[in-house]
Amino acid sequence: MDEATRPGSAVVFPGMSPCRFADFGKFLLINPFARRLIGEANERLGYSLVDRFRETEGDYSPYAQVGFMLTCVALAEWAEQEQGMSPDFCAGPSFGEKPASVYAGSLTFPDAVWMTAELARCLTEFFATEYTDVVTHSFVRTPEEKLKDALSQLDGKGEWFDISCYIDHDFYMVSVREKNLDWLKQTVRSMGGLSLYTMRPPLHSRAFGALRRKAEDEVLGDLEFHDPLLPIVADQDGEILRTGDQVRTMLLDSIVKPMRWPDVVHTLADNGVRKLWVAGPDTLFGRVRVTTSRFEVVTVNPRMALQPRRRGAGPSRVS
């Protein structure tokens, strides 16, 4: 096929789901790409990432977050050599912004390791004293107009809320004060929707401006971001990012702006993307209808990468 008419492809790094060492510890210990990156992570952190990840409880510990980010990057490297992945664009909804920044060449892997660990610290410190009663609740099968009508009831009572994630045309995450969580669940049920899970600490809200400033002052402000070698599609609005400053701003704005996955999908489709490689342990973005109706989706997960590989494969690309 002529290169000019070849359907485009993109690699997507998924948002982080609850993560335990048992989920992909074997991949981290065996896969050659992961093992090389673990060596770099250990050097940057000053301790054994694998040991801390294995010994620390909690699905979103700093070590789990670094391990998830590392796994996504390693899987993308593996897909290049083993599956012939050669994307034209890159995207990373929510947490996926971090590995996307590395893979696109905007942030070095050691800096991304440090950034991920330090952002986890910032979140823990901030939410220990601020917005301690706020949670983010996810649900499906709820049309947007009905949802907005229901949330207007909260607004009419002077109660705070924020739509944190637009995942599909009937799939949302909404942040509310915990005292209103039962009301939200009941309202979703009355509309024929299905509640999924509730996250604490919350995420992606304009109320968290102080956290954005903390993250900029203590973490991202002094990091060097390069112009990406691969265009990144921002998960807040679908904008195509081509400068390092834009990538830094995307990571900071993720704290205070909602994630809009349909906007990313539209930008990719409008730019000729027909195949989507999802590099990472994904339970969401490669499965929702807005994705599967537009693209051929190729899942790249630890289980796949642990299958026997051809001779000659080895680490490449990310440094």
pLDDT (tens digit per residue) in 228-269: 999 999 999 999 999 999 999 999 999 999 999 999 999 999
Task: Kindly state which CATH superfamily the domain 8-128+210-305 is placed in.
Answer: Malonyl-Coenzyme A Acyl Carrier Protein, domain 2 (3.40.366.10)
pLDDT digit string, tens, across residues 48-84 = 999 999 999 888 899 999 999 999 999 999 999 999 9
Q: What is the dihedral of CA 51, 202, 207, 168, to 10 degrees?
A: 120
pLDDT digit string, tens, across residues 140-182 = 999 889 999 999 999 999 999 999 999 999 999 999 999 999 9
Q: What average pLDDT score do residues 199-215 get? A: 96
pLDDT interval class at 319 (50, 70, 90): very low
- pLDDT number for residue 310: 56
Average pLDDT of the chain, as a whole number: 93
Residue among 283, 310, 319, 296 at smallest CA distance from 83: 310
Fold agreement (8-128+210-305, 132-200): no
Q: Which two tokens stand for residue 281?
A: 């342990």
- pLDDT number for residue 19: 83
Beta strand 273-279 with 296-300 is: parallel
- pLDDT number for residue 20: 87
Q: Which amino acid belongs to residue 315?
A: P
Q: Round to whole Å and give the CA distance between 49 and 198.
A: 28
pLDDT digit string, tens, across residues 95-127 = 999 999 999 999 999 999 999 999 999 999 999
pLDDT interval class at 6 (50, 70, 90): low
- Locate the domains of the chain by residue range: 8-128+210-305, 132-200
Compute how many other C-beta atoms are within 10 angstroms of the C-beta atom of residue 218: 14
Percent of the chain with pLDDT over 70: 95
pLDDT interval class at 23 (50, 70, 90): confident
Q: Of all helices (H) and strands (E), which one includes residue 290?
A: helix 289-292
Q: Round to whole Å and give the CA distance between 230 and 227.
A: 9
Q: What is the CATH number of domain 132-200?
A: 3.30.70.250
- pLDDT number for residue 1: 42
- Judged against a pLDDT cut of 90, whether residue 12 lies above it is answered with yes
- pLDDT number for residue 17: 84
Q: Round to whole Å and give the CA distance between 16 and 209.
A: 22
Place of tokens 């992606």: 204
